[in-house]
A and B are shown apart, each in its own frame.
Chain A
Amino acid sequence: MTQLDLAALDATAHRASLTQRRRQRNARVEPRGAREHTARERVEMLVDAGSFVEIAPLRTADGQGTGVVTGWGLVEGRGVVVIAHDAAVASGAIGAVFADAVVKAQRLGIDRGFPIVYLNDSGGARVPDGVFALHGCGEIFTQNVLAQRRVPQISVILGPCAGAAAYSPALTDWTIMVKGHGHMFLTGPDIVKAATGEDATADEIGGSQLHTVKSGVAHLEVPDEAAALAETRRLLSFLPSHAGAPMPFTEPVGPAPEAADALPFVVPEKASVVFDMNRVLDGVLDEGERFELMPQHARSVLTVLGRLDGRPVGIIANQPGARGGILDSAASVKAARFVEFCSRFGLPVLTFVDVPGFLPGTVEEGRGVITHGAKLLKAYIESSAPVLTVVVRKAYGGAYIAMGAKSLGADFQWAWSNAEIAVMGPGGAVTLLHRRALAAADDPIALRDELAAEYREEVARPYIAAESGIVDDVIVPEETRGRLSDALRMLTAGQG
């Protein structure tokens, strides 16, 4: 058939009608307000160039489309399902048809094993749709939960997200918010004012600072839409497409030579002196990209995706450089969530321990630190992914257990030779154990220091733990990478 024949065909009525419908549906509607990109443009920015295929592109609720762009594309050559709210249609409000389109895309991801990325920009349920809108929102939540055991889910908050548009992200794995534009709240400022009389701005009720620093509802704050979509791609690069799928390996590389050389000197001898745990990670992990989740929330514990021998791993580490590296309610929830995520997708959990304990006191007990700390215990106990734990300095009390101890099912646990593992720190322990001798002493402070030094050497040093088999071995820092690497090779043999 010649070009001329084809052109003639295009003029036939049915072809012209299709062309017309497609043009109408894909017409670019100028983004509203401060938005820079339309829903389709956002999707195109997320996936590999030219790879997006829309599901049911002609579907419509009231002649304007469904209000949501759904489909699939490739990210670094791997399939992902994308669901992008279209704020140009009824403020992206979720109606019955919209919800059904979302559910169909979610089912594609779940049934065929592709990660689901939600680009959220929606005022919540569409009011005129009444109970049909609410029913649809509930169905989206149901698929969010069903997807949890099957595929990674990432929510990106690109505009004001109220009600259902804020709840769905809470049922997904990771939420990325654009500073100044992304908001998440049950209801916006006007309804808050009407309901309770409280005067608050959108930023105060649901801005990215509130959620990435204080509430922990969102897990990463980015400056703009392009960064949000780039970070989503980067996050996906550490994750398998679905539970049980092969891991996305990269070329194995060692740590940066200067970081590896510095490793034996990173941790200060004196247990009370703070340091940056990132330097330990630098000296052990593959050099190159890492992805820290919740970097601004509960900073006394680090949750990081990184690589060892090119294999993606999840790293939990106390951060002595922030609040002394303590565990509290927020840090426990953050760490538990991360361990649980790694377990679902088979990412080995590497735990680096230097913890002074659970923060005690009225404030923390009032926040329910017992319940929240228990979530961390449970996450480790239930982990089906390999768990490897390294005690790099001190590990006292319940916090020793909670940081991936052997008793919770760690596959292997090692301690550096300067480590201290005990029910409590030397100071507290001798005060308790030698109360009478200290009361009778001429110089109680000198006696206390002497007893504390004795306790540190005789009770807290890791040899007792190693001789009893509770830690697998006592090692020096520069042996860490080799031990982790050997263990992972064995534990993951036969897997992707």
Chain B
Amino acid sequence: MIAARADIVANVWKIVVREGDPVNAGDELAVLESMKMEIPVIAPSGGYVVRIPVDEGQIVQEGDVVVEIDGTPGV
């Protein structure tokens, strides 16, 4: 299991993927809003989205998991 984490305290502005989606390393998974900046959450490696433990509009702290990925890269 690979976790894509928030690297800054932020508001979850947009979640771009849904559970079950295949993703590649480098894909944008969500966009956080902090300090009036749109800060992308990027897939650290490829696989499938297995869990999205946050909702849009929720506050996340630095280090919180935004999207969990599992499985083999790409499809």
Q: Which residues of A contact B (CB under 8 A)?
A: 271-274, 320, 322-326, 356-357, 359, 361, 363, 425, 427-428
Considering only CB atoms, which chain A residue lies closest to B9 in the complex?
A: A361
How far apart are A33's CB and chain B's nearest CB, in angstroms?
33
Given contacts A323-B8, A324-B8, A363-B9, contact A425 B39 (CB under 8 A): no
CB-defined contacts of B40 to chain A, threshold 8 Å = 274
Considering only CB atoms, which chain B residue lies closest to A360 in the complex?
A: B35
> What per-residue 1/0 map shows which CB atoms of B1-21 lie under 8 Å from chain A?
000000111000000000000
Given contacts A323-B8, A363-B9, contact A274 B39 (CB under 8 A): yes
CB-defined contacts of A357 to chain B, threshold 8 Å = 35
A293 to B61 alpha-carbon distance, docked (Å): 27
How far apart are A287's CB and chain B's nearest CB, in angstroms?
26
CB-defined contacts of A274 to chain B, threshold 8 Å = 37-40
Q: How many A-B residue contacts, CB cutoff 8 Å?
A: 40
A326 near B36: Cβ-Cβ < 8 Å: no
Question: For A273, A323, A427, which residue has the most chain B Cβ atoms within 10 angstroms?
Answer: A323
6 contacts between A and B (CB under 8 A): A271-B36, A272-B36, A320-B37, A324-B34, A359-B34, A363-B62
Q: Which residues of B contact A (CB under 8 A)?
A: 7-9, 34-40, 61-62
How far apart are A378's CB and chain B's nearest CB, in angstroms?
24
Given contacts A323-B7, A326-B8, contact A359 B37 (CB under 8 A): no
A320 to B38 alpha-carbon distance, docked (Å): 10
Considering only CB atoms, which chain B residue lies closest to A428 in the complex?
A: B36
How far apart are A483's CB and chain B's nearest CB, in angstroms?
27
- Our pick among B8, B36, B38 for the contact of A359 (Cβ within 8 Å) is B8
Which 9 A/B pairs are nearest by Cβ-Cβ distance?
Answer: A324-B37, A356-B35, A323-B8, A272-B38, A425-B36, A324-B39, A324-B35, A356-B37, A272-B37
A272 to B33 alpha-carbon distance, docked (Å): 9
A167 to B26 alpha-carbon distance, docked (Å): 38
How far apart are B71's CB and chain A's nearest CB, in angstroms?
26
CB-defined contacts of B39 to chain A, threshold 8 Å = 274, 323-324
CB-defined contacts of B37 to chain A, threshold 8 Å = 272, 274, 320, 324-326, 356
CB-defined contacts of B8 to chain A, threshold 8 Å = 323-324, 326, 359
Given contacts A274-B40, A359-B8, A363-B9, contact A326 B62 (CB under 8 A): no
Considering only CB atoms, which chain B residue lies closest to A356 in the complex?
A: B35
A322 to B40 alpha-carbon distance, docked (Å): 9
- Our pick among A322, A323, A363, A427 for the contact of B36 (Cβ within 8 Å) is A427
How far apart are A175's CB and chain B's nearest CB, in angstroms?
24
A357 to B36 alpha-carbon distance, docked (Å): 10
CB-defined contacts of A324 to chain B, threshold 8 Å = 8, 34-35, 37, 39
Question: For A322, A324, A325, A326, which residue has the most chain B Cβ atoms within 10 angstroms?
Answer: A324
CB-defined contacts of A428 to chain B, threshold 8 Å = 36
How far apart are B48's CB and chain A's nearest CB, in angstroms?
26
A10 to B9 alpha-carbon distance, docked (Å): 75
Considering only CB atoms, which chain B residue lies closest to A424 in the complex?
A: B36
A363 to B61 alpha-carbon distance, docked (Å): 10
A324 to B7 alpha-carbon distance, docked (Å): 10
Considering only CB atoms, which chain B residue lies closest to A327 in the complex?
A: B35
CB-defined contacts of B38 to chain A, threshold 8 Å = 272-274
How far apart are B66's CB and chain A's nearest CB, in angstroms?
14
CB-defined contacts of B35 to chain A, threshold 8 Å = 324, 326, 356-357, 359
A363 to B59 alpha-carbon distance, docked (Å): 14
Considering only CB atoms, which chain A residue lies closest to B33 in the complex?
A: A272
How far apart are B42's CB and chain A's nearest CB, in angstroms?
10
A427 to B36 alpha-carbon distance, docked (Å): 8
CB-defined contacts of B61 to chain A, threshold 8 Å = 363
A271 to B35 alpha-carbon distance, docked (Å): 11
How far apart are A460's CB and chain B's nearest CB, in angstroms?
13
Question: For B34, B37, B61, which residue has the most chain A Cβ atoms within 10 angstroms?
Answer: B37
